[in-house]
């Protein structure tokens, strides 16, 4: 397989890191010829390497024409958050970061300075046990915790707590409806559940990806709202589903990209091996680490072999790929997006090799 020269351009600077990593990906031959190949169990484990999937004849990394290299801005070491998970930004530019090791939420002001008073308020009575997703709603911070949502004001003071089942993610609309993605333990579990701000369950919808094993892991997903739409973005397969807020299925689409394809095929191989050997039901490659909605468009971030942020239109097509070669194994956790002077800016929370908040920017393509 060789890319057509007329359809791509190359980056010599990006080839160094990718050349080291591409041989680490082993992929399944001819697994993606139909939808049943993705969701069924007939997975081949005969594998090969396709070096020319990534490199042209000059051994430079092949990038599509809609790829835009990001400019690297300042980085901020996050003190007090050795294991960051998710983040959210309020209207004043303050950033809130959930942290797993200390089971807390860290607040940084717009200059990146930690708010010690906020941390002290959150830590009182050890209210949080397993904080994950965060959301801002009418000057309140909602924290998805173990089997509940904890509500604090923006100074970190406890306001309320809502009981819900264990969930991977949440999103809240302007009317206060809470959408959560409950953990999957059974093929009959829904993808999305809806609650009121009083904690009353009002709806559930969507069916998970149905595999013989690893249901919970392979159905991990991000949950986003875009106007009247609910997006479900799977982490280990490049599959995105759209629903109405009432739970009506609208459509499903895939993120089409060679870098994503090779990681998906790696996961298909692991899935096939795990059918016969339970000891191999681990080590899946996370394809989409997180996603966000900005200005009506969906942005999905992936961190290996390059940092890549996919800008996706409402029709499911990739409009722009923003990328950066970090020359290291880059593990993004979450991203926040804004725009200034016709430049789009990405704040990327990463957990490896250090807990850092990076800033990247690029001229925004219209």
Give the pLDDT of residue 61: 66
Nearest of 217, 214, 140 to residue 178 by alpha carbon: 140
Give the pLDDT of residue 30: 33
Tell whether the model's pLDDT for residue 190 goes beyond 90: yes
Which is more confidently placed, 309 or 5? Answer: 309
Give the pLDDT of residue 33: 36
Span of 171-175, 178-182, 257-261, 283-287 with lowest mean pLDDT? 257-261
pLDDT tens-digit profile of 81-137? 888 999 999 988 899 999 988 889 999 987 888 898 888 888 775 678 899 999 998
Tell whether the model's pLDDT for residue 40 goes beyond 80: no
Give the pLDDT of residue 120: 81
Tell whether the model's pLDDT for residue 236 goes beyond 50: yes
Tell whether the model's pLDDT for residue 342 goes beyond 50: yes
Q: Under 8 Å CB-to-CB from 141, ≥6 apart: which residues?
A: 88, 96, 105, 134, 135, 151, 152, 153, 154, 156
In sign, the C-alpha dihedral spanning 297, 302, 303, 305 is: negative
Give the pLDDT of residue 262: 86
- Cα–Cα dist 56/65, whole Å: 14
CB 287 within 8 A of CB 236: yes
- Cα–Cα dist 144/162, whole Å: 10
> Taking the mean position of all CA atoms in its chain, how far away is CA 275?
27
Give the pLDDT of residue 67: 92
Give the pLDDT of residue 56: 55
Domain layout of the chain by residue ranges: 1-65+255-288
Radius of gyration over every alpha carbon of the chain, rounded to an integer in angstroms: 20
> What residues form DSSP beta bridges with 106?
97
Name the phi and psi angles at 280, rounded to 5.
-100, 15
CB 140 within 8 A of CB 159: yes
Tell whether the model's pLDDT for residue 49 goes beyond 60: no
Give the pLDDT of residue 352: 74
pLDDT band at 300 (very low <50, low <70, confident <90, very high): very high
Which is more confidently placed, 194 or 11? Answer: 194
Give the pLDDT of residue 185: 92
> What residues form DSSP beta bridges with 352?
331
What is the residue-averaged pLDDT of the chain?
A: 83
Give the pLDDT of residue 116: 87
Tell whether the model's pLDDT for residue 191 goes beyond 60: yes
pLDDT band at 78 (very low <50, low <70, confident <90, very high): confident
pLDDT band at 42 (very low <50, low <70, confident <90, very high): very low
Nearest of 112, 150, 118, 117 to residue 131 by alpha carbon: 150
pLDDT band at 60 (very low <50, low <70, confident <90, very high): low
Tell whether the model's pLDDT for residue 237 goes beyond 90: yes
Nearest of 166, 121, 122 to residue 148 by alpha carbon: 166
- Cα–Cα dist 115/273, whole Å: 48
Tell whether the model's pLDDT for residue 241 goes beyond 90: yes
What distances in angstroms separate CA 363 from CA 14, 61, 187, 273, 334, one per listed residue?
19, 22, 43, 44, 21
Give the pLDDT of residue 37: 41
Average pLDDT over residues 278-302: 94
């Amino acid at each position: 397989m060789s890319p057509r020269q007329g359809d791509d351009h190359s980056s010599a600077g990006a080839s160094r890191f990718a050349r080291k990593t591409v041989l680490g990906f082993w992929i399944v031959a001819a697994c993606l010829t139909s939808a049943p190949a993705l969701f069924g169990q007939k997975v081949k484990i005969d594998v090969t390497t396709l070096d020319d999937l990534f490199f042209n004849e000059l051994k430079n990394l092949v990038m599509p024409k809609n790829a835009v290299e990001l400019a690297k801005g300042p980085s901020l070491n996050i003190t007090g958050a050795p294991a960051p998970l998710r983040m959210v930004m309020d209207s004043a530019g303050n950033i809130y970061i959930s942290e797993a090791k200390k089971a807390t939420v860290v607040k940084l002001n717009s200059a990146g300075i930690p708010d010690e008073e906020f941390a002290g308020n959150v830590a009182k009575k050890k209210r949080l046990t397993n904080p994950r997703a965060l959301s801002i709603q009418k000057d309140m911070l909602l924290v998805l915790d173990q089997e509940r949502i904890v509500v604090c004001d923006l100074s970190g003071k406890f306001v309320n707590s809502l009981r819900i089942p264990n969930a991977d993610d949440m999103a809240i609309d302007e009317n206060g409806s809470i959408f959560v993605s409950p953990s999957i333990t059974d093929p009959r579990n829904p993808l999305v559940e809806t609650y009121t701000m009083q904690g009353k369950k009002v709806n559930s919808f969507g069916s998970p990806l149905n595999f013989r094993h690893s249901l919970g892991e392979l159905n991990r997903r991000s949950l986003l709202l875009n106007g009247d739409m609910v997006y479900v973005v799977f982490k280990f397969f490049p599959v995105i589903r759209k629903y109405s807020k009432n739970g009506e299925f609208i459509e499903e689409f895939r993120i089409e990209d060679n870098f994503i394809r090779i990681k998906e095929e790696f996961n298909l191989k692991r899935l096939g091996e795990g059918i016969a050997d339970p000891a191999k039901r681990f080590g899946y490659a996370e394809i989409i680490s997180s996603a966000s909605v900005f200005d009506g468009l969906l942005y999905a971030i992936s961190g290996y072999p390059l940092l890549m942020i996919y800008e996706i239109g409402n029709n499911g097509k990739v409009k722009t790929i923003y990328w950066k070669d970090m020359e290291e194994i880059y593990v993004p956790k979450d991203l926040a997006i804004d725009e200034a002077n016709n430049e789009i800016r990405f704040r990327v929370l990463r957990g490896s090799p250090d807990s850092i908040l990076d800033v990247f920017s690029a001229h925004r393509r219209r």
